[in-house]
Structure 1
Amino acid sequence: MAELTPPRTVLVTGATGGVGSAVARRLHADGWIVYAAHRKPTDEAALRDAGYTPVRMELTDEESLATAAETVGPRLDGLVNSAAVMGQGPVELTPAEAWRRQFEINVIGQTAVIRAFLPALRSASGRIVNVGAVSARVPPPFFGPIAASKAALSALTQALRMELRHQGVKVSLVEPGAMDTPIFATADKASAETGWAGSSETQQLYARALDAVRTTAARQTLGPVDPAVTAIVRALTARRPATLYTTGRDGRALALLRFLPDGVRERLLLRGMGVTAEAFAKTPVPVG
């Protein structure tokens, strides 16, 4: 009698929403044992009801990650790093607190997760899939914070891939375009709570440009998560996974802009975001 192959195992961070939840659903439907990472105790019951094995962990707490690694066990076929926070706004107006949080979650936290689960991934000759953003390669104006953190994630992914090349662990990066997930609403809420840095005069300098960006963003049609999910599954299952997957029509279009001269590319991005020179013109002060 042929020996039964045990189900493959995967840990998905950010499994309670956005791309992470969609990936968890797809892999569970494909027969994987899904370890669904979550932060809030209140999420555990819903994740268990969905057929996953909940794993409570905090990306910024290494003790929490060590406990989670013990829960998952000595072998892990896949790790999908999709947990992230999004910060947006002018570089000058983004407070240091917002920059630190962005890098703490999107870069340092991802690295800590990888370190915690690498022994189990090595035992299974597993796969690591990091979810980045195409803005890492072509940053639009006023998206510097998220673009900078995702560029750092891209760099560490490339270094990690070479370091693990001869250890049996394959590493891929998936860079989606703008997707219809709650992350934009969450980013807007976080920005409102944190507020802007700089004086009121400095903030006023950007006011009209930010209004133009918000208007443009409101008209934008966000893409589905399915192309990103499909790319993640392919990275986990293909015999020879690609090192980089760029998904979404807008994501592929944005990625192509990197081949243009800087001046041309930047003019196109500013125009696409609705930002003109007039947006930065000083408002005349009434006389008398």
Structure 2
Amino acid sequence: MEKFSALLIQETNGEIAYDIQKITLDDLSEGDVLIKTEYSSINFKDSLAVMKNGGVIRSYPMIPGIDVSGTVVSSKEEHLTVGEKVLVTGYGLGVSHTGGFSEYVRVPAEWVVPLPKQLSEKSAMILGTAGFTAALCIDALEQHGLSANKEARLLVTGASGGVASLSIAMLKGLGYKNITALTRKKETVRELKELGASEVLLHDEFMPEKIRPLGKQLYDYALDTVGGDTLAAVLPLINYGGGVAACGNAGGLGLQTTVLPFILRNVALLGIDSVNVPMEKRQLIWNRLATDLNGTEQALVNEITLSQAPETFASLQQGQHIGRTIIKF
């Protein structure tokens, strides 16, 4: 095979640099399945991967990109055939294993999800890890009682980000009517209401000067993509028996709270991981993303080429990015 393009991160004398280079299959990590990339997507985790001390990549050189969709061009496994449309998210992709910012991706067969018939390669990456995470959050809240109450008061934090904006669209599509979006970006209010938010709160106005152990029970459930002080401020506001699905740490790794929401109001804090989800659960969630949780038509999407990726990395790092950015190969 001739050389092909990939975004390669390298470390020289303790400094991190990346650019688009021509590489060969020998530069890819080992695997049973070779995929010709059609689309990838850029997540917050990818923006950290290209930073020095970003905490994502520990060995170099490395190709980032935690999502990919495309076509199988060779396979050592009978259940994955040449020409089949597939997707991969999570596991070690783009972290410890060469990832999706490459024209070809090679991965272990057990990482590969056959693309549901209702999804195109493009729509799969509009969703990507962000959509997968959003669906896992919603699924967890449904199992905790959300599905029984379409009138439930819902709060979604970090609302202009990929996970949260897709969550709002999905919740609206499921018929939930009382969705409050919490955002730092005043300029996104109109877009968030168009996505399905019935109310939009600005972060500075929402956050109290001092977070009390318990507050008014304003929300039945919350989907938190931020963590840190934002999550600490949300927990005291959850109604008795409610729950919070927590999936992000952009607001910090620490959580300064008390046990009172948990032991006096029976609030559940539901941790959500999208990286190591078992394949059976993974396929169930992707089938939902192809049907009742498919929010791609309403999603805020920007399509770029690989050469434009650095601009998106910068906007993510600066907290200015809105919605989803996908890369077409």
TM normalised by structure 1 equals 0.37
- The structure in which a higher percent of residues are strand is 2
Give the TM-score of the pair, scaled to structure 2.
0.33
